[in-house]
């Protein structure tokens, strides 16, 4: 393993922000991590563990060590009562994993198709889409404690999953490096198609009994129709979380804005942040190379040479605008790396 100096990160973040890491190391095996733990920047300084770079915005060069996880491998660790347990290394492609599971008839992750990034980041963010969240099919993970150098196993309860949130974004932030994740998948899949857009897309096919492969294909069609390919147009997917509000607040909001879109979230309501942003006038907006996607207002895009600071300024302006119009404060889903 070699540590590189002044390493370009433009191709390692999906926004395509042109920044540099003071030092950079690519980890292809767990054994590579242990020598890195003695690095001064990891013991006492600044460092960042990078997966696919799909959920972050760099606002400047990174004055520290960037560690990219490139470990790969999958193995079935057990089967019981219609379930299969699959352990996957942190550096595996997330969508590659979904395709792998669907090809074998293992259900659960198909609604999460085409989400960019790597497996190791999936529990940190508790990724979700089209009516499914990762925690529903999560079994456990192994992580390296950077302080003690010990490997630990985390159950779902240990991870404290919330909406796009987990222990690893809160108390455990910057302390652990996720090594592998084990998923609990269905060998007799339950098809999850109640989410509006997905149900509508499947209805177009006239197939009354869709398979998990049909669901994956439908999700991919939806995402490709409204979300830009990061290889073509820099973006990190949904920039903001969908805000969750009380039913009383939602009723009052709907009286003022009858078209507002929302979905039940327990005894509360989850608002469509994209709708709020679009109807605040931002859809398709562009200032220099920083802009808002013209098909999905929840996605901020880099048209070429926008800086991280310019993207963040745009996000701040959108937040202020939405607050003034709806009295709702949007929270970023993307991690801001200052």
Give the active site residues: 164, 238, 333
Taking residue 324's Cβ as centre, other Cβ atoms within 10 Å add up to 10
Separation between Cα atoms, residue 17 and residue 234, nearest integer Å: 8
At residue 48, φ and ψ (nearest 5 deg) are -145, 130
Name, in order, each residue with C-beta under 8 angstroms of 148's C-beta and a sequence gap of 6 or more: none
10 Å CB burial of residue 153 (0-12, 13-18, 19+) is exposed
Residue 260: DSSP 8-state: -
Residue 243: DSSP 8-state: P
Separation between Cα atoms, residue 298 and residue 333, nearest integer Å: 10
Query: If DSSP codes are grouped into helix, strand and coil, which group holds residue 264?
Result: strand
Separation between Cα atoms, residue 116 and residue 95, nearest integer Å: 7
271: Cα separation from own chain's centroid: 18
Give the tokens for residue 114. Answer: 């085409």
At residue 261, φ and ψ (nearest 5 deg) are -105, 135
Give the tokens for residue 53. Answer: 């770079």
The maximal CA–CA distance of the chain, rounded, in angstroms, is 60
Separation between Cα atoms, residue 14 and residue 55, nearest integer Å: 8
Q: Would you state the torsion angle of the CA atoms of residues 20, 308, 17, 179, taken in this order, to the nearest 10 degrees?
A: 70
């Amino acid at each position: 393993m070699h540590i590189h100096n002044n390493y370009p990160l433009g191709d390692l973040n999906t926004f395509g922000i042109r920044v540099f890491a003071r030092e950079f190391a690519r980890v292809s095996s767990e054994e590579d991590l242990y020598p890195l733990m003695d690095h001064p920047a990891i013991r006492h300084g600044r460092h960042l563990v990078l997966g696919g770079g799909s959920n972050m915005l760099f606002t400047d060069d990174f004055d520290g060590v960037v560690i990219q996880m490139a470990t790969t491998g999958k193995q079935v660790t057990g089967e019981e009562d219609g379930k299969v347990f699959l352990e996957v290394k942190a550096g595996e492609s997330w969508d590659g994993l979904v395709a792998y599971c669907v090809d074998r008839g293992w259900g659960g992750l198909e609604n999460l198709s085409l989400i960019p990034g790597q497996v190791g980041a999936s529990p940190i963010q508790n990724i979700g889409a089209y009516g499914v969240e990762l925690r529903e099919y999560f079994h456990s993970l192994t992580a390296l404690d950077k302080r003690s150098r010990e490997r630990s196993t985390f159950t779902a309860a240990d991870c404290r999953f919330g909406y796009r949130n987990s222990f690893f974004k809160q108390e455990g932030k910057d302390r652990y490096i996720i090594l592998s994740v084990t998923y609990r998948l269905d060998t007799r899949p339950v098809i999850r198609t109640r989410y509006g857009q997905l149900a509508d897309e499947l209805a177009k096919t006239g197939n009354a009994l869709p398979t998990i492969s049909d669901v994956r294909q439908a999700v991919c069609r939806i995402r490709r129709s409204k979300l830009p390919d990061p290889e073509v147009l820099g973006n990190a997917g949904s920039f903001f979380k969908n805000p969750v509000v009380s039913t009383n607040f939602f009723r009052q909001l709907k009286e003022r804005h009858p078209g507002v879109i929302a979905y039940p979230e327990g005894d509360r309501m989850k608002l469509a942040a994209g709708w709020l942003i679009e109807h605040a006038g931002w859809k398709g907006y562009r200032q220099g190379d920083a802009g808002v996607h013209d098909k999905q207002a929840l996605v901020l895009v880099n048209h070429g040479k926008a800086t991280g600071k310019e993207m963040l300024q745009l996000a701040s302006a959108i937040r202020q605008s939405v607050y003034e119009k709806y009295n709702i404060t949007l929270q970023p889903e993307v991690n801001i790396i200052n």
